[in-house]
A and B are shown apart, each in its own frame.
Chain A
Amino acid sequence: QQKVQQSPESLSVPEGGMASLNCTSSDRNFQYFWWYRQHSGEGPKALMSIFSDGDKKEGRFTAHLNKASLHVSLHIRDSQPSDSALYFCAASEPGNTGKLIFGLGTTLQVQP
């Protein structure tokens, strides 16, 4: 079973709209979460990390973590066509290896 599950598999929003991506972990050892974004033909790039319950905002991006339910979400406000990409949620256990477990990703398409 996939330890980090993402939904939806794909999402289409109009330019200027709000995109909401979800991620749930099945492993209570996972304490730290990241969102990565991958444009076609490139490697993934970290968008933001979240380790504490609640919201974390960086520009148009807001991540929300609920440790009790092991649910993390990413909300993109005022979506732009350049936000069209594959978004990964990743989680890790406490420790010094930096080993990440990735979800399968959500493909976001922002329609101009």
Chain B
Amino acid sequence: GGIITQTPKFLIGQEGQKLTLKCQQNFNHDTMYWYRQDSGKGLRLIYYSITENDLQKGDLSEGYDASREKKSSFSLTVTSAQKNEMAVFLCASSIATGVDTQYFGPGTRLLVL
């Protein structure tokens, strides 16, 4: 088995601030994902990466940057936090194929004051 670790668990930011969320996996999976979960809106894909140094935009990439410098880690940056924003950011990983199960981390809860 493996585990996905997300840091920090909680993140409180100020409007306009750049915020970075980190994700580590020890599954040795090739593909990693960042999702945003808002109440009542399900999970929406922000960025994904099919291998080290690869980045692919999802449906919600505007306002975010991502970085995959190592196979085991995937970072997400909120480039300018929006006032009163509140969401959970979920990291996931899977083996490279399109029919493989995605394994999720516990999430980072963001609140912007």
Name A residues whose Cβ lies closer than 8 Å to a Cβ of B: 32, 34, 41-46, 49, 51, 88, 92-100, 102-105
Contact = CB atoms under 8 A, between A and B. Distances in A.
**Which of A32, A41, A43 has most chain B Cβ within 10 Å?**
A43
Contact of A44 (B43, B48, B94, B97): B43
Interface of A is mostly: loop
A46 B106 contact: no
B107 A34 contact: no
Contacts, number: 64
Contacts of A88: 42-43
Contact of A96 (B33, B45, B50, B58): B50
Contacts of B1: none
Nearest to A49: B101
26 contacts: A34-B101, A41-B106, A42-B106, A43-B4, A43-B92, A43-B104, A43-B107, A44-B90, A45-B104, A49-B99, A51-B99, A88-B42, A92-B98, A96-B96, A96-B97, A97-B56, A97-B98, A98-B31, A98-B97, A98-B98, A98-B99, A98-B100, A98-B102, A99-B45, A99-B48, A105-B42
Contacts of A45: 104
Given A43-B90, A46-B103, A97-B98, 6 more contacts: A46-B102, A96-B97, A98-B48, A98-B50, A102-B42, A104-B42
B13 interface: no
